[in-house]
Amino acid sequence: MSLDGLVVHSLVQELQACVGGRINKVHMPSGNDIILQLRAQGSNLKLLLSANPTYPRVHLTEKSYSNPLDAPMFCMLLRKHCESGIIESITQPGLERVIHIGLRQRDELGDVSIKTIIIEIMGRHSNIILLDPSTDTIIDGIHHVTPAISSYRIIMPGSRYTAPPKQHKEQPFHIERDSFIELMTQAPPVQPEQDDPFKAPAKPAQLWDDLTWEQRLVARFSGFSPLIAKEIVYRTQPKITVAHTPVESASRLWEPFFSIINQLRSDCGAPNICEQEETGKAYFSVIKLTHLQGEIQYYDTVSQCLEAFYGDKAERDTVKQRVSDLLKFLQNERNKNAKKLEKLQETLNEAQDSDKLRILGDLLTASMHQIQKGTSAIDVINYYDEEQRMITIPLDPLLTPSENAQRYFKKYTKSKNSLIAVKVQMEQTHEEILYLDSLLQQLGTASLSDIAEIRDELIEQGYIRDRSKKTRKKKQNQRPLLSCFTSSEGIPIYVGKNNTQNEYLTNRLAQSADTWLHTKDIPGSHVVIRSIQFGDATLHEAAQLAAYFSQAKASSQVPVDYTMIKHVRKPSGAKPGFVIYDHQKTLFITPDADGIKQLPVSIK
């Protein structure tokens, strides 16, 4: 569900609190996102500008973002033109999905410099553009659009800025009842075709009279999405039927239309997320969606609503793209080891019958005088059978009786010796599969900052090659950053998201009297309660974190072991992140994602 013009309108009203604020820092955590750290109205704020092609958005955020060591060029440019600048205005042209942030800053010479940041929220065409408004010249954009891509709108340094094509729709905030009825009943004039790169391929023209009332609302009014249009039609009382004339139907639409527009004219609406009962699909809006049947969660601000809706979807999407090669490699390695385990099990099953080979050799030795050279089989009495039944022993006709007996004894010896080797290999393969499972689980919950650590670990363990051009020089005392949650009792709870973090947390950071938690026999994160004294609430919340950051995240009644750090140790030569422990107790926990999101978290 993308942001429509009405949501952007409410958001811009909310962001007026940032006007007059100073931009202290500019960060670019990914190739699509910008974070502006502000000081406004006595508070420190973080404003997220995202041109993500799947999840474009703008809102205040409380999330912590990791930043690359080397800032991208566009980030450096924004720092030059925007840091220490004052936000003079935040506006929305019409009801388009576009936001303009006007800035005033003093340049290197002390002269006042005026710049505009334009955020265009247009799906895969979304962009963030730094503009010199005095000449309408683009200084740069987070995504470039060259003449080869579009001759209509070029987004390149030095190009003249062209606004997205106008859709020639009416502004709903300034419409009167009679004009509304006329607009809804009469077809709009045909607009001349434009070379519009943002417009979907042309479809066969549809007659105005054939359009539904939802389609007419979307076609006529700026800022309206199909979701809002459906809500207006649903609220119509009495309901519109085919028996009504177009004027009667439009007259009935006016009341819910005016009610919604009047609400949004005076305030930011009622930001909410509705999750449908049947499909489980979630929708967000700034008005109550009564036409959807499901649980509705309301929020105090539009920013809180957007952050709750998108959550970590955008980050997970970016992470998925960056780790796709690792996921494929690890899954292939796991499949290889699973097949290897099957083969070893077959060999083990065959070796279990080694005693039969020894018995056959003994029986042949005892019956040597009965065997004629060239015989392919012989029936002898099985002296090892209580009933003394006859048994047929296959023979190699090219071998002597003695050589046939020795052949069975050699097979017995080889099979017996292989039992030891096979068991060792099976144990190693089991450990390998557990290790690969732990890495797959870690990639499933990894943040952007965790990916590099997991990749480095695979390079160090010899699984993949280091294909980077720069020589990696790992600092001896370099410590990984850890997620530190604060329990409801104010106790710090540390969580390792990968083996590098797990090793540091368990073996170096934690003290002997701290409490260590981990899912029982399930790949997951190491969790440490950094306190000697704590209550049941903290223990329960730490167990929730251990279950949530594990392979059993979507399960119920997940077993979580807990013990003191002094009872946790790493065996010599073990894989990274592998430990053994004793003196443990077990809790059974059902992970609660909403409860975990309520816990304060910081990166330390």
Q: Is the pTM higher than 0.85? A: no
Strand, helix or coil for residue 477:
coil
Does 471 score more than 50 pLDDT? no
CA atoms within 13 A on the CB side of 458: 25
Long-range interactions of 354-363: CB distance < 8 A, separation 24+: 354/411, 354/412, 354/415, 354/416, 354/419, 355/412, 357/408, 357/409, 357/411, 357/412, 357/415, 358/408, 358/409, 358/412, 359/384, 360/393, 360/408, 361/405, 361/406, 361/408, 361/409, 361/412, 363/391, 363/393
Question: What pLDDT is attached to residue 587?
Answer: 95
Does 68 score more than 80 pLDDT? no
Does 198 score more than 70 pLDDT? no
Average pLDDT, the chain: 88
**How confident is residue 180, by pLDDT bands cut at 50, 70 and 90?**
very high
Helix axes 213-220, 246-266, angle to 10 degrees: 50
- For residue 536, the one-letter residue type is D
Question: What pLDDT is attached to residue 334?
Answer: 94
Average of pLDDT values for 185-193? 75
In the chain, the percentage of residues whose pLDDT exceeds 70 is: 95
Q: Which one is predicted more confidently, 198 or 461? A: 461
Does 53 score more than 50 pLDDT? yes
Question: What pLDDT is attached to residue 31?
Answer: 87
Q: How many CB atoms lie within 10 A of CB 189?
A: 6
| Cα–Cα distance measured from residue 72 to residue 76, given in angstroms and rounded to the nearest whole number | 6
Closest by Cα among 151, 122, 18, 36 to 82: 36
Question: What pLDDT is attached to residue 470?
Answer: 52
The secondary structure of 389-447 as a DSSP string is -EEEEE--TTS-HHHHHHHHHHHHHHHHHHHHHHHHHHHHHHHHHHHHHHHHHHHHH--
Question: What pLDDT is attached to residue 26?
Answer: 96
Question: What pLDDT is attached to residue 258?
Answer: 94
In the chain, the percentage of residues whose pLDDT exceeds 90 is: 57
Closest by Cα among 256, 250, 212 to 237: 256
**Token code pair at residue 525:** 């994160």
**How confident is residue 522, by pLDDT bands cut at 50, 70 and 90?**
very high
3-class SS shares of the chain: helix, strand, coil, % to 5: 40, 20, 40
Average of pLDDT values for 510-527? 95
**How confident is residue 85, by pLDDT bands cut at 50, 70 and 90?**
very high
Question: What pLDDT is attached to residue 141?
Answer: 96
| Cα–Cα distance measured from residue 96 to residue 99, given in angstroms and rounded to the nearest whole number | 8
Question: What pLDDT is attached to residue 347?
Answer: 81
Q: Taking the chain, what is the end-to-end CA distance rounded to the nearest angstrom?
A: 34
Cα 55 to the chain's mean position, in Å? 12
- For residue 577, the one-letter residue type is G
Q: What is the pLDDT of residues 104-125, one digit of tens each?
A: 998 777 789 999 999 999 988 9
**How confident is residue 603, by pLDDT bands cut at 50, 70 and 90?**
confident
Average of pLDDT values for 296-307? 93
Average of pLDDT values for 362-372? 86
Does 191 score more than 70 pLDDT? no
**How confident is residue 201, by pLDDT bands cut at 50, 70 and 90?**
low
**How confident is residue 206, by pLDDT bands cut at 50, 70 and 90?**
low
Integer-rounded Cα radius of gyration of the chain: 35
Question: What pLDDT is attached to residue 602?
Answer: 85
Question: What pLDDT is attached to residue 385?
Answer: 83
Does 482 score more than 60 pLDDT? yes
Q: Which one is predicted more confidently, 167 or 584? A: 584
| Cα–Cα distance measured from residue 516 to residue 538, given in angstroms and rounded to the nearest whole number | 12
Which helix (DSSP H) or strand (DSSP E) does residue 380 occupy? strand 377-381
Strand-strand pairing, 43-50 and 57-60 = antiparallel
Average of pLDDT values for 82-110? 92
Q: What is the pLDDT of residues 308-318, one digit of tens each?
A: 898 778 777 77
Q: What is the pLDDT of residues 380-396, one digit of tens each?
A: 888 888 888 899 989 99
Does 468 score more than 80 pLDDT? no
Contacts of 399 (CB under 8 A, 6+ apart): 407
Closest by Cα among 551, 529, 552 to 599: 529
Does 331 score more than 90 pLDDT? yes
Does 320 score more than 70 pLDDT? yes
Kindly report the backbone phi and psi dihedral angles of residue 127, in degrees, each rounded to the nearest multiple of 5, phi listed first: -155, 160
Does 323 score more than 90 pLDDT? no
Question: What pLDDT is attached to residue 374?
Answer: 85
Question: What pLDDT is attached to residue 278?
Answer: 79
